Structure 1
Amino acid sequence: MAQAILTDRIPPASHWSMVVPKGHTLVLTDVDGGANLSMLFYNPNNLLERYNAPDTLKCQHTFKLTQGHCLYSDMGRVFCSIVRDDTGWIDTVAGVANKAKTAAKWGERDYQADRNNWKQNGYDALLVEVAKYGLGKKDLAANLNLFSKVHTDAEGNLKFAENHSSAGDVIELRFEMDTLVMFTTCPHPMNPASEYPRHSVEVSMIESAPVAVDDDCLNSRPENARGFENNRRYLADRCCH
């Protein structure tokens, strides 16, 4: 693997954001097993453009995301490609827990008493992070939950897969355009654990190898080739202006 440009460990119940330039890959590692990483994506040059979950799933004919899939913006462009997924399934539908849901499952949070062990929730964590860029509640689109799996049973009910991710599992996202990335390590909203789950995720950024003509993400669906072409036209126009 290429040498890391930066590496950081995101503690449990934390949030973070960064702009990942085109041509770079985020290497995300579940440190201890059982992690959850809720993510959102925006165009840093036009914050109105953001990750679109329905288009991402519809155009790739899938309910889950994993290696070989792309993450689309609401402008039909590819934010990033999933070039590695050791877990085989990324949750696309469950969203994040809010303060009330977290309190009902794991008790009230109290920073004064718990300090850095307080029970933060994913909704508030993302809201704090997007506020740094002038965004608010209306800008919180449907998110992804990396390292987590939600599937359906025979009756069509959503089920959370326990122990889905193991210690050392890696997911790599290769960015096809400059992207503002938001994420939080707060627990998955469907996690049935009796105690508030606390799991870290390591984040590294490396330079990506060039996209080859036989690239899995580019060729997994005809729609993806069109998404990459939309990127090419968008980036060419930006260079001209």
Structure 2
Amino acid sequence: MTAYAHDIAAGAAWTVRLNRHRALRLTCLDDGANVSVLMFAAADPLERLNVPDTLKAQMSACLRPPLVLMSDMGRALATLTGSSLDWHDAVTGHSTDAHLDARWGPSDYAADRNAWRRSARAGLLDELAKHGLGRRDLHATANLFTKVVPDGDERGTLAFVPGHASAGDWAELRAEQDLLVVLSSAPHPLDPNPAWAPARIRATVAAVPAPGPDDPARLFRAESGRALAATERSLA
């Protein structure tokens, strides 16, 4: 049963406190969505999502079910338990004000009112400030609903894949401990769309069962199982 739902406006940011064994489902309400994600342990925000370790330990270049999202202490923060897409970017970061200004020119509320363009970084920083966190707490984001692949040149250029996400696509994260999750729906910095066209996102939270011994994430890789076990030991 859904505990609550919230619609994240296009180009906006939002924070949710996600209790252990609750699932956060994010659903695209428009085509071309991107959601930049920061994640912290609620008990101690110094423990946060470590994207490089998450990918390296599970031998992946992207996020896809049933990967475990690991902290910088090797513990499981959350698990990507399901998704309508097989690829979510975790290597190219989030948009900045400088990026937006270079592409679309300066924007502020006084001039543009509700059409004000805000970067993912600006939105994430505003949300972090509400919880006593700041610029030093920014870390590498995951970018749900975005696919970025090697372009095949000698420089190792990464290419954005247009049309990867459509309205109705979804991804679900199960919290393995109490979390603070910070989200921005600003466009991905490599999105070539010439128009400013962020997408709306629906977030729903529901209680889910704890991962059992045959949970797909526990069996995916030895490192995945160890991260789950480390979290479970610390909370026993």
Q: What TM-score range do you get, normalising by the shorter chain?
A: over 0.9
Q: 1:131 deviation in Å? A: 1.1
The CA deviation at 1:215 is 1.4
1:135 is matched with 133
Distance in structure 2 (CA, Å) of the matches to 1:10 and 1:225: 33
Structure 2 portions without partners, runs of 5+: none
What is residue 148 of structure 1 aligned with on the other side?
146
Report the equivalent of 1:106: 104
Structure 1 residues 137-216: aligned runs within 5 Å: 137-155=135-153, 156-216=156-216
User: Which aligned runs of 4 or more in structure 1 are off by greater than 6 angstroms?
Assistant: none
Partner of residue 226, structure 2: 226
1:181 Cα deviation from its structure 2 partner: 0.3
Aligned position for 1:79? 77
2:77 counterpart letter in structure 1: F
User: How far apart in 1 are the matches of 2:24 and 2:142?
Assistant: 15
Give me the whole-angstrom Cα distance separating, in 2, the residues matched to 1:133 and 1:234.
24
> Structure 1 length as normaliser, TM-score?
0.95
Q: Which residue of 2 aligns with 1:16?
A: 14
**Counterpart amino acid of 1:177?**
Q
Shift of 1:113: 2.2
Residue identity in the other structure for 2:182: M
CA displacement at 1:85 relative to structure 2: 1.4
- Between the aligned partners of 1:140 and 1:36, the Cα distance in structure 2 is 18
Q: Return 5+ residue gaps in structure 1 as ranges.
A: 237-241
Identical pairs, percent? 37
In the alignment, residue 89 of structure 1 is paired with which amino acid? W
What is the CA-CA distance between 1:19 and the residue it aligns to? 0.9
Matched positions, count: 234
2:32 aligned counterpart, secondary structure: coil
- Which secondary structure state, in structure 2, belongs to the residue aligned with residue 25 of structure 1? strand
Say which SS state the counterpart of residue 134 (structure 1) adopts: coil
TM-score for the superposition, normalised by structure 2:
0.97
Mapping of residues 29-44 of structure 1, within 5 Å? 29-44=27-42
Q: 1:89 and 2:87 equivalent?
A: yes
Cα offsets for 1:168-198 (capped at 9, x unmatched): 0110101111010000111101111111122
**Distance (Å, rounded) in 2 between the aligned partners of 1:123 and 1:41:** 14
In 1, the alpha carbon distance for the partners of 2:226 and 2:198 equals 40
Q: Secondary structure in 1 aligned to 2:45?
A: strand
